[in-house]
């Protein structure tokens, strides 16, 4: 099970890192296994949070079966 989490996490990290290269909104992508984090920012230099955009993304993910956890998003 742990190996599967590593494999799937690596897959998602690749996708998220690729998206970061195309969208300035994505300030940082990090994590390990299935514990992944994405920072949404208005400016990568100042790291000013993109709160409205993050709220939009969280709500769209919730509609698709994800829901917010205390440190990010988890699937159900």
We report the CATH number of the domain holding residue 56 as: 3.90.1150.10
Q: How many domains does one find in the chain?
A: 1
Range of the domain at 35: 2-75
For the range 3-12, what are the long-range contacts, defined as Cβ-Cβ under 8 Å and sequence gap of 24 or more?
5/33, 5/34, 6/33, 8/34, 9/33, 9/34, 9/35, 9/36, 12/36
d(CA 69, CA 22): 27
Size of the chain, expressed as the number of residues it contains = 76
Residue range 10-24, pLDDT digits in tens: 999 999 999 999 999
Quote the pLDDT of residue 71. Answer: 53
Mean pLDDT score of the chain, rounded to an integer?
A: 86
């Amino acid at each position: 099970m742990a190996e599967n989490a590593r494999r799937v996490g690596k897959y998602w990290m690749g996708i998220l890192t690729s998206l970061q290269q195309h969208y300035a909104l994505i300030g940082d992508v990090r994590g390990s296994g299935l514990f992944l984090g994405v920072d949404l920012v208005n400016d990568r230099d100042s790291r000013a949070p993109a709160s409205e955009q993050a709220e939009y993304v969280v709500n769209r993910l919730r509609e698709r079966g994800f829901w917010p956890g205390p440190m990010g998003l988890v699937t159900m």
